[in-house]
Structure 1
């Protein structure tokens, strides 16, 4: 079995689609091009030794359907026949999936390519706008999402196709802007002395930010998990947890504005990820929007770019389903990322 070197042709139904992050794995089966995806309960990656066991136990053992194809989005760069996930010990081996689980072909994408695919067909009801701006149809879009890590992907329209642009944009530098930032930055945990956006804008990043606030103020940190920090903020029990949540949102707005400039995303910037959804009830949209637009000398440009929170449940699976139904509408390069039975 070898990876094919061709564009994505029509896939054979039924198709297993999967969105595998650092913490959770979500699966569904697309029976045909017209059916809605049949979803299965979300599973924890930590509960399974590998993706093979997760698919067998949580999908194949729960249905009489035998998928012929699989389109999997994974949190990590795809390079070769053994794909390491960035924030999870799983290694995805497409050849093994074909040999052991009965697939005829397997396509593996980056997880935020799947989010970008979702953004290409997101209904009005699947997003909430933050502030002003106008979507320009056919213009570039970008999606950013704090979760176990910080995912980023672009979406470009060319030759009547949407082309997802994957990368590791969550690892760009994040610098201080205000006096409070400059007081906090020396107390943030770094990677080899560097504060990347992901060091602050993800689950562990929220805890990192909260601890830095406590260290700066000379108090003992009393929360050790993202849920503890966000819950304390939601209940107004801890002023430093509340500050961490609001600064998290401000920094996310700044990074979203940077990405808008990088991609010239006049089609909009879309915030995905469960963490942001959980924080939304505590946030002040005007503060996020102000941070997004605060990009002198291009504040006027940013004011015209819309910013959205994705509210569609299981958006990445919806994106994968859209691609699986009609691969020809997407300029998705599958060379080295598509394996077939021989």
Structure 2
């Protein structure tokens, strides 16, 4: 049976898997390994460490956090570049495909079992049409799926880098705070792991919270976003308010995407953050702000909203992108 490699290359980690796909598109992973992306000099180094003998590999599908242009990708949050030509030379595998990570995730959605999906809103009036995927993680990924009447056709976007749009005085103050830090302020600066940290930093210096100094010092060590989400679960007020703003901004940008794509085929929320932190309070808060779009509320209520629970959805989609008999043109 032919073997394939699938990769999910993110700003924090790179996940590589060796897999086979049956004629019925059933995915079987035979081995896998995760690498720290920043620790490697490039992708070829990780590939050859994972599978030194590439003679049995039919094709490699690489999902990357960044825009693919002329078979090259400069990772959004990593210094080195990925080039198809260089990888073909290093591995000897001629069928290598580069695609955006959220585009890859979109390719996997039609194959996901119900156990991988958590429906947070199910419309009473489902209208077939385009779909959208938004995924807060290290950064903010966004992708669409064009519906041709019979099939979905995923496509990549860099919508997470569009300008953040404030709605109230707190949002404006937050925007000004981040403009001093970054200059241009995109949605990714708020709806992502770094976004949680940015919101937390803004609140703890602009609002008089009674935050224990030792707890604050602990929260600022290691994975700050994870520390904040945990502190929110424990009831620490600044962390609670941080996560409330994060969920609110996620809802607003999700609604923006859904309206722009007219995604009556559904809105899917992926990434590593949401499945870990989701709870009934966040769900109620999300839906309140998601539907707060004035005259277009009725349209949004035609769209199912679903959280992708599969932690390897990008890898899963990259694998299905090169399913047997469906190899894309090089």
TM-score class, shorter-chain normalisation, is: 0.7 to 0.9
State the alpha-carbon separation in 1 of the partners of residues 128 and 110 from structure 2.
Answer: 10
**Residue of structure 1 equivalent to 2:10:** 21
TM-score by length of structure 2 reads: 0.87
- Which of 167, 172, 180 is matched with 2:162 structurally? 172
**Residue of structure 1 equivalent to 2:299:** 301
**Residue of structure 2 equivalent to 1:235:** 234
> Structure 1, residues 255-302: CA drift from partner, whole Å, max 9, x if none?
101100011001111111111222214852111011111111111111
State the alpha-carbon separation in 1 of the partners of residues 12 and 55 from structure 2.
Answer: 26
Equivalent pair of 2:61/2:321 in contact (CA under 8 Å): no
Higher relative CO (CA 8 A, sep ≥ 6), structure 1 or 2? 1
Residue 115 (structure 1) aligned with residue 100 (structure 2): no
Equivalent pair of 1:185/1:212 in contact (CA under 8 Å): no
**Residue of structure 2 equivalent to 1:54:** 46
- Which of 118, 138, 163 is matched with 2:153 structurally? 163
Structure 1 residue matching 2:273: 3-state secondary structure: helix
Equivalent pair of 1:266/1:305 in contact (CA under 8 Å): yes
Residue 74 (structure 1) aligned with residue 64 (structure 2): yes
**Residue of structure 1 equivalent to 2:140:** 150
Alpha carbon RMSD of aligned pairs, Å?
Answer: 2.6
Equivalent pair of 1:60/1:66 in contact (CA under 8 Å): no
> Unpaired segments of 5 or more residues in structure 2?
none
**Residue of structure 1 equivalent to 2:203:** 213
Shift of 1:161: 3.6
State the alpha-carbon separation in 2 of the partners of residues 189 and 277 from structure 1.
Answer: 30
User: Residues 195 and 99 of structure 1: is their aligned pair in 2 closer, same or farther, counting only changes over 3 Å?
Assistant: closer
> Structure 1, residues 173-207: CA drift from partner, whole Å, max 9, x if none?
22222344344333335676432111111111111
Shift of 1:101: 1.7
**Residue of structure 2 equivalent to 1:272:** 270
> Unpaired segments of 5 or more residues in structure 1?
1-11
Residue 30 (structure 1) aligned with residue 22 (structure 2): no
State the alpha-carbon separation in 1 of the partners of residues 234 and 69 from structure 2.
Answer: 44
**Residue of structure 2 equivalent to 1:252:** 250
TM-score by length of structure 1 reads: 0.84
User: Residues 134 and 87 of structure 1: is their aligned pair in 2 closer, same or farther, counting only changes over 3 Å?
Assistant: farther
Structure 1 residue matching 2:57: 3-state secondary structure: coil
Structure 2 residue matching 1:49: 3-state secondary structure: coil
User: By percentage of residues, which structure has more strand?
Assistant: 2
User: Residues 192 and 45 of structure 1: is their aligned pair in 2 closer, same or farther, counting only changes over 3 Å?
Assistant: closer
- How many pairs were matched up? 318
**Residue of structure 2 equivalent to 1:287:** 285
